[in-house]
Amino acid sequence: MSGYELVVGLEIHAQLVTKTKAFCRCANRYGAEPNTLVCPVCLGTPGALPVFNREVVAQATRLAIALGADIHLHSRFDRKNYFYPDLPKGYQISQFDHPFSTGGHLSFIVNGSTKSINITRAHLEEDAGKSMHLADGSTIVDLNRCGVPLIEIVSEPEFRAAEEAGAYLSAMRELLRFIGVCDGNMDEGSLRCDANVSVRKIGEPEFRERCEMKNLNSIRSVERAIAAETKRQIAIYEQGGVIHRQTLQWNEQEERLIPMRVKEGSDDYRYFPEPDLPELRITQAFVDDIRASMPMLPEQLREKYSTTYKLNREAVYYLAIDIRISGYTDTLIETGSTAQSAAKWVMGPVTRSLNERGWSFDEFSRRVPAATLSGLIQKTDRGDITLGQANAVFKALIVKPEKSPDEIVAELGIEVMRDEVKLGAIISEIVSEHPEELAKFREGKTKMVGFFMGLVMQATKGQADAQLAKNVLMELLEAKE
């Protein structure tokens, strides 16, 4: 890489989450039997015509708002003409010189610092079908995907490292999911990425010839493919060679780039305005309504969590990654839990229970509404029950969603040991049985407090009032000095 600089721009294709396809009423859904989600419109049957789906426009508007892009109240559809068996009309309805939005940016963290990439444009188009090439050389086609709405997000060529491209794609996926515009499942092809890669000598003002990488179906692939292509181009330049523009396909299994068959007659798509659809016109009021209905975006949430709630960085990122998690946490706080406790509970017991039981967050929050958990958190914070007891109550709560925390406390016969004399006796016995640890504490190892507290909780079966026990313990540890 010595002396060379990488120049990369990404094109992200995101399938929009909508009930129906972009221009017909077929369901927009992955995984159905091949060629079952089709109709005359998406099959290109003679005489059929496309019509707009309003929800597509709403989704594009959400994304444009989230990226801070300029939304064009008037945009236009064009036909991109080419022949392929998975393109039944012989053209794709897309947007060429009047895209839905231009500009905007996306910020993300890479190697510990924040980077922001400018976005060139985002335009709407329809997806093509899926060709599957069989071992015997024949090709079969599934047209279920024909007409699925896509938004293509084109970045400026501002990436200077493969990890930056990976981090950007990851942040874009997070954003798309957060605002519910795309499910982001790269395995299912609902989010796809192409990269335009070139290299140049550091300090060179002009870009050199670029090559396009296709089929980058994971964040890892994006990074690997760009790294491989960088190496290839530098090697060619170092040997005095020239880069010719070409399209390469990333083979994920073999981790290598394979040049794609050169398309006959170059890429002249003969774009022209789609005569079957009038100009797409939206009103400022439509945009404003959508803006008002949008949740706080991850970037804004992180700001709120770190500045207003003073949460640590791990918590800030964890809570802002999914709209369901942030929404649940916000409700915990709104119903009286402290931000610190809410974060601790969501990241701890709640997440553990999701992992253990394989629940989605939606399923969890149906079982344990935020208001219920908030009650338990506050009970714990007030010291009505200990943390250990609270965990027991929580575990019972998730399997008995019809009960309230109070009912479970009663059911489990939980009570808190607040008898100072009794606690004092137990604790002083523990301290005297561990002279070595006591000595360490006195040498300044304050961590030993945790060790002693653990023993106290063990001895009291988790029923000791933690604050009271700690006070008593500290008195004993320090008094005998």
Q: Which residues bind other proteins (CB under 8 A)?
A: 40, 43-52, 79, 81, 83, 85, 88-91, 139, 141, 264, 268, 270-272, 275-278
Integer CA distances (angstroms), 244 to 133, 225, 247, 250, 293, in order: 28, 18, 10, 18, 48
Q: How far is the CB of 81 from other proteins (least distance, A)?
A: 5
Q: How far is the CB of 47 from other proteins (least distance, A)?
A: 4
Beta bridge partners of residue 348, listed in sequence order: none
Q: How far is the CB of 21 from other proteins (least distance, A)?
A: 14
Q: How far is the CB of 95 from other proteins (least distance, A)?
A: 15
CB 219 within 8 A of CB 230: no
Q: How far is the CB of 229 from other proteins (least distance, A)?
A: 27
Nearest CB to other proteins, comparing residues 111 and 283: 283
- Around 196, how many Cα atoms within 13 Å sit in the side-chain half-sphere? 15
Name the CA dihedral angle for 77, 80, 84, 85, rounded to a multiple of 10 degrees.
Answer: 10
Using a CB cutoff of 8 Å and minimum separation of 24, what contacts does 419-427 make? 420/468, 420/472, 423/456, 423/460, 423/464, 423/465, 423/468, 423/469, 423/472, 424/472, 424/476, 426/456, 426/459, 426/460, 427/452, 427/456, 427/469, 427/472, 427/473, 427/476
State both tokens at 393. Answer: 């109550």
Nearest CB to other proteins, comparing residues 52 and 361: 52
Q: How far is the CB of 122 from other proteins (least distance, A)?
A: 22
The angle at the Cα of 171, spanning 167 to 176, to the nearest 5 degrees, equals 150
Based on C-alpha coordinates, what's the Rg of the chain?
29
Q: How far is the CB of 48 from other proteins (least distance, A)?
A: 7
Nearest CB to other proteins, comparing residues 46 and 435: 46
Nearest CB to other proteins, comparing residues 245 and 313: 245
Nearest CB to other proteins, comparing residues 47 and 435: 47
DSSP state of 464: B
Nearest CB to other proteins, comparing residues 79 and 177: 79
State both tokens at 208. Answer: 């050199």
Nearest CB to other proteins, comparing residues 271 and 451: 271
User: Residues in the chain, how many?
Assistant: 481
Q: How far is the CB of 77 from other proteins (least distance, A)?
A: 10
Q: What is the C-alpha to C-alpha distance for residues 62 and 122, in angstroms, rounded to an integer?
A: 12
CB 176 within 8 A of CB 184: yes
Q: What is the C-alpha to C-alpha distance for residues 227 and 229, in angstroms, rounded to an integer?
A: 6
CB 154 within 8 A of CB 9: yes
Nearest CB to other proteins, comparing residues 273 and 383: 273
Nearest CB to other proteins, comparing residues 145 and 304: 145
Using a CB cutoff of 8 Å and minimum separation of 24, what contacts does 259-268 make? 260/214
